[in-house]
Amino acid sequence: MTERKKKLLILFTPVLIVLILDQVSKHWVRYSLELHRHEIIDGWLAFTYTQNPGMALGMDWLSTPVISVIAIVATIAIFLYIYMTLDRANIPYLVCMGLVLGGAIGNITDRLIMGVIEGYGGVLHGHVIDFIHVTVTINDTPLFPYIFNVADIAITTSIIAMLLFHRRILPGEAARRKRSDEDESTLTGREEGALTREKLQDVESYQDEGESERSLQNEDEEESGKSHQDEV
């Protein structure tokens, strides 16, 4: 298996995991009426089944078909970008982008099929199923007044991870960091080499000085010996 194929396998593994978990959980909640309004942790977390016709966080600025087309185009663009940067991509980056793609495809699947299944529209008219509801309130104000799904969790987790650890995850930042480490290592090696050469030069100078002193001492001894013989 080539290096590019290995990286594509790493990328599509989280895509498939997120897509399966997202669609199975949505199907489970959708067809279980008792889960449409179900308290998981009293006062903290509940299942509240909804269908979102707009964008994330309840934003409804455009029509559902337009939002669906934008989501599909954006997902294709993300994949093309990943494919173009595949040679420089590392494993954390591929995992994070796999989570983003998996979440995006999960929500796009709802947009493509839910309108047909529910009978309120055709392809691209589908609403995204949301059901995870944080019910914590502070002074009767909801802490997080939005309902989301598994796909949203995957996308959000990936984005937060890339923001917090971008120097280690993003290909450009990781490459620059690696070059910086290599440059620092090279500079350290050069400094060590320079110090070694200086030490060798000091040793050679010391040896030369020692030999000079010994030569002078031998010359003095020879002259002293000759003087003594002349006196005799």
Q: Which residues have a catalytic role annotated?
A: 130, 152
Number of helices (H) and strands (E) in the chain: give both, helices first: 6, 6
Rounded to whole angstroms, what are the CA distances from 168 to 59, 91, 158, 175, 183? 33, 10, 13, 9, 17
C-alpha neighbours within 13 Å on the C-beta side of residue 225: 6
What does the alpha-carbon distance between residue 172 and residue 215 come to, in Å, rounded to a whole number? Answer: 63
Q: Residue 152, exposed/middle/buried by CB under 10 A (0-12, 13-18, 19+)?
A: buried
What does the alpha-carbon distance between residue 64 and residue 1 come to, in Å, rounded to a whole number? Answer: 42
3-state secondary structure of 56: helix
